[in-house]
Structure 1
Amino acid sequence: MSWAWEYAFGAEETARTAPAAFLTAVERKAAELVRAAEAQYLHGRAHREGDPKGGDITVPGGMFRYQIVVRAERVYIVQLTHLDF
């Protein structure tokens, strides 16, 4: 298995209606998170400790919340917040 990111829970539904520019920014940052997690957790499937605390990242047009699950080698986007002014 290789590291990747994906939408989880209600974020997938929100992504269907969010503006393309906002989603592009989210996807770019998610890819950066994947590269960082892959470098930090070289043997992700063999990881025996707890998962790191997730966080929030601000992007143009809003923010998103993520969670890293090391043994699954995944970065999950669990919430999207688009500021539609």
Structure 2
Amino acid sequence: MSWSWEYAFGAEEAARTVPRAFLTGVEAKADELVRAAEALYIHSRGHEGADVKGGDVIVPGGMFTYQVVVRRERVFVVQIVYLGF
């Protein structure tokens, strides 16, 4: 298994309703988070303890919230907020 990201919960539904330009920014930042997590957690299958705290990322037009699940090698985008700025 290799690291990747995916939408979780209502974020998948929200992704269908936001402008494509905003979604492109979200996806680019999610790709960066995957590369960072992959470099930081080289031995992810052997990770013990709680998963790391996620966070909020600001992108042009809004923001999104993510969570890293190390043992599954996934970055989940759990909320998307499109503000249109």
Moved more, 35-44 or 45-54: 45-54
Q: Does 1:84 align with 2:84?
A: yes
Equivalent residue letter for 2:80: L
- 1:33-77 deviation line (CA, Å, top 9, x unaligned): 000000000011111121110100000000000000000000000
Q: Does 1:71 align with 2:67?
A: no
Q: How does 1:1-85 map to 2 (within 5 A)?
A: 1-84=1-84
Q: Could you tell me the percent identity over the aligned residues? A: 69
Once residues 22 and 35 of structure 1 are traced to their aligned partners in structure 2, the CA distance between those partners, rounded to angstroms, is 21
Q: Please state whether the residue corresponding to 1:5 is helix, strand or coil.
A: strand
Structure 1: any 5+ residue segments left out of the alignment? Answer: none
Report the RMSD for the aligned CA atoms in angstroms. 0.9
Once residues 4 and 49 of structure 1 are traced to their aligned partners in structure 2, the CA distance between those partners, rounded to angstroms, is 21
Once residues 82 and 61 of structure 1 are traced to their aligned partners in structure 2, the CA distance between those partners, rounded to angstroms, is 6
Equivalent residue letter for 1:44: S
